[in-house]
Structure 1
Amino acid sequence: MVPRIILPENAPTAKIELRHLMGDVYVTIQRKKDYIEAKWQGHITADNVVCAAQAYLDLLKEAPCPKLLNDKTEVTGDWQDANDWLQFEWLPQVLRLGLRYLAHVYSFSMFSKLAARELEERITPQLSMKNFYERRLAEEWLLAQDPLAAGQRAATA
């Protein structure tokens, strides 16, 4: 049997948990084998989204990763006010750090869903973002994306 080598930048990491002032976790960020996952829960605000996006940036600075699975299935709340910051501050930084694909799983909350749709309109085509109703479909799409092809497209644009 040939030993399997896992490169450090692709190795799963410990979870980063961000919490509300009362102690409830609102997002868990973790590097998986092929992508970074942000798993959200509970009621979130625009400030929560900005804090999580900054934590995600720190993780990317340690080791770049071209794919992000952003699962907001279990959230409520309107985070649309974070979209300006995400578009004008976060997006240029994550692009420089190698992010190319963002699979977003919708919440059942209409406000959260509208914020995600607006974000997709704002950041594509610079970043390939796609919204999904099911996590399984989001993960399948994300895993099927070729980061080398995205890098070549970005270099020729």
Structure 2
Amino acid sequence: MRREVKNQGGHTFLVLDYDQENNWLYLNWIGYQNLFNIKQGLAEAWNMFRRYRFSKVLNDNRELVGPWDKANDWLEEELNPASAPIRIKYVAHIISPGIFGQLSIQDLQTRLINKVEIKLFEDINRAQDWLKSK
């Protein structure tokens, strides 16, 4: 099931696609992300989780622009297994080409070190192989 989420200007900022064969959710973040967009996008992800019950996410930031670390406090709480509406165990994260996006995921990875296994990749094929091994 594929879903596009649009910002207030009508531009797609997130594409979600549930991969039934591998039982994971693919998230493709596009352009600049603010806290409002991230919350809206993850609300869609939670809806897909309720339907499909996956525990793995392939998070793609190759089309992301700029930082998104302002959302890390909120994400830390949302992805905390003790309080999260869903239980994500593994996240294969394809890093953005820009340094600000890379610093944002490194910060989040540190915050969630014993809560969610996040592995960083530059290559989507390696990210998929890692998720398949989990």
Fold shared per TM-score above 0.5: yes
SS in 2 for 1:58: helix
Give the equivalent residue in structure 2 for 1:38: 27
Q: Which amino acid counterpart does residue 26 of structure 1 have in structure 2? A: F
Structure 2 residue 77 is the aligned partner of structure 1 residue 91: no
Separation of aligned partners in 2, 1:132 and 1:90: 20
Kept in 2, the 8 Å contact 1:53–1:90? The answer is: no
Secondary structure at the residue paired with 1:27? strand
Matching of residue 73 in structure 1 with residue 62 in structure 2: yes
Which residue of 52, 71, 78 maps to 1:82? Answer: 71
Q: 2:3 aligns with which of 16, 22, 26?
A: 16
Contact 2:79 2:88 in 1 (8 A): no
Cα distance, 1:91–1:52 mapped onto 2, change above 3 Å: farther
Aligned mates of 2:113, 2:124 — CA distance in 1: 20
| Larger relative contact order (CA 8 Å, sep ≥ 6) | 2
- Point out where structure 2 has 5 or more consecutive residues left out of the alignment: none
Report matched runs for 1:3-152 at 5 Å: 13=1, 15-32=2-19, 33-34=21-22, 35-92=24-81, 93-94=83-84, 97-145=86-134
Q: Does the 8 Å CA contact 2:14/2:29 hold for their aligned counterparts?
A: yes
Q: Secondary structure at the match of 2:67?
A: coil
Partners in 2 of 1:117 and 1:101 — Cα distance? 15
On the 8 A contact 1:44/1:78 being kept in 2, the answer is yes
Percent of residue pairs bearing the same amino acid type: 24
Gaps of 5+ in 1: 1-12, 146-157
Counterpart Cα distance in 1 of 2:123 and 2:106? 15
One-letter amino acid of the counterpart of residue 13, structure 2: Y
Describe the SS at the equivalent of 1:126: coil
SS at 1:42 equivalent: strand
What CA RMSD, in Å, does the superposition of the two structures yield over aligned residues? 1.5
Instruction: Indicate conservation of the 8 Å contact 2:79/2:116, yes or no.
Output: no
Q: How many residues align?
A: 131
Q: Compute the TM-score of the two structures, normalised by the length of structure 1.
A: 0.77
1:91 CA displacement:
2.9
TM-score (normalizing by structure 2): 0.89
Shift of 1:115: 0.4
